[in-house]
Amino acid sequence: MTDRVVLAYSGGLDTTVAIPYLKKMTGGEVVAVSIDLGQGGEDMESVRQRALGAGAVEAVVVDARDEFADNYCLPTIKANGMYMKQYPLVSAISRPLIVKHLVEAAKEHGGTHVAHGCTGKGNDQVRFEVGFMDNAPDLKIIAPARDYAWTRDKAIAFAEENNVPIEQSASSPFSIDQNVWGRAIETGYLEDLWNAPTKDIYAYTEEPSLGQAPDEVVISFRAGRPVAIDGREVTVLQAIEELNRRAGAQGVGRLDMVEDRLVGIKSREIYEAPGAITLITAHEALEDVTLERELARYKRGVDAEWSNQVYDGLWFSPLKRSLDAFIESTQEHVTGDIRLVLHNGSIQVNGRRSEESLYDFNLATYDTGDTFDQTLSKGFVQLHGLSSKIANSRDRRFSK
């Protein structure tokens, strides 16, 4: 039986060259699988034809845009998913979906191996391979860029020597990954932490200082799910796409951070995720008025751990599944509207309303009609601080 390698195929230099290279190294056939995650740019049929032109025996394109939005972006919204309180997990949430479809393609096309184009320095190798181990442990894994010391200059040389159709050149400085949830840019001159990013690296966002008029938007949620924008019903995918346009036009969602990678190194990353940042900001604001205090406090810790699990490639882990269940249980009353102003790269929440709100005007007001019994507070304060008072009294007595 001839080996068949199912390759996660993006259409770029590395994965295009990987097709003939994998054929040469394994003596087998290559099935290229490309996933449409709303990344835009090149037509997916052109990507498919490039894979066939490079020598793939089969080239599969999967339209997973709604699946990605509903099953991967939406859980990220509900979890307020932000690694290191900043990064909305743009690449991390796409990898388990790609794994799912590669495993399905391996079953359909008789795959014996799966392959990805990740290096040994990054997080994605972990995300892909742990995903494969969790879902199809019998499949053998090949990572040409890591396992065969495959570098960009070697890839270009191999393409030229073997007449592989590629469009990239050695002068392209950046590594870019993008989908509808956002865009990640790294390498090149960005590896010098003192170098500021230049305007040409951005594609999803406009320069914040262009002086656009403020854009006020109302986002409606039902049980944590965005269901309408300015009163018009939308799917999750449509919500992300519209806010990518509107928030992106205001320069919202740009991020320049030094990230703690899973492999132990620090890496400078540039992200732009206008729709993601806007939706998470609105969702957090609605949770502020619909979640009980202790539940909200506890969920913030769960959200952080959920983000760590996803970033670390553990989408299919038992802990992450249990965190999903907890987070979903918190969303029952996260229903209502959030009004935001998008302007000059910033988001300002200026309105909140919900029939399931825990905000009680009569308790909160300082004006006539206040129903809060302030006489109860004196005893509460005394009891609340009692244990701390006793401990500090003891410490003063025995301090040297």
Catalytic residue numbers, as ranges: 14, 95, 124, 175
40 marked as binding residue: no
What are the backbone dihedrals phi and psi of residue 18, each rounded to the nearest 5 degrees, phi first?
-65, -25
**CA 322 to centroid of chain Cα atoms:** 19
**CA 283 to centroid of chain Cα atoms:** 15
Written as one letter, the residue type at 130 is: V
Cα-based angle 177, 48, 105 (whole degrees, multiple of 5): 85
Distance CA(379)–CA(392), nearest Å, equals 20
304 marked as binding residue: no
Q: Which residues pair with 176 in a beta bridge?
A: 185
119 marked as binding residue: yes
108 marked as binding residue: no
Collapsing DSSP states into helix, strand and coil, what is residue 146? helix
**CA 275 to centroid of chain Cα atoms:** 11
9 marked as binding residue: yes
What are the backbone dihedrals phi and psi of residue 104, each rounded to the nearest 5 degrees, phi first?
-65, -40
16 marked as binding residue: yes
26 marked as binding residue: no
127 marked as binding residue: yes
399 marked as binding residue: no
53 marked as binding residue: no
**CA 25 to centroid of chain Cα atoms:** 34
368 marked as binding residue: no
301 marked as binding residue: no
Which is nearest to 274 in space by CA: 174, 175, 180, 176? Answer: 180
Strands in 225-229's sheet, in edge-to-edge order, are 232-233, 225-229, 215-222, 336-343, 346-353
123 marked as binding residue: yes
Distance CA(140)–CA(299), nearest Å, equals 38
Residue with tokens 């080239």: 59
247 marked as binding residue: no
Binding residues for L-citrulline: 87, 123, 127, 175, 259, 271
Binding residues for L-aspartate: 119, 123-124
Binding residues: 8-16, 87, 117, 119, 123-124, 127, 175, 259, 271
Binding residues for ATP: 8-16, 117
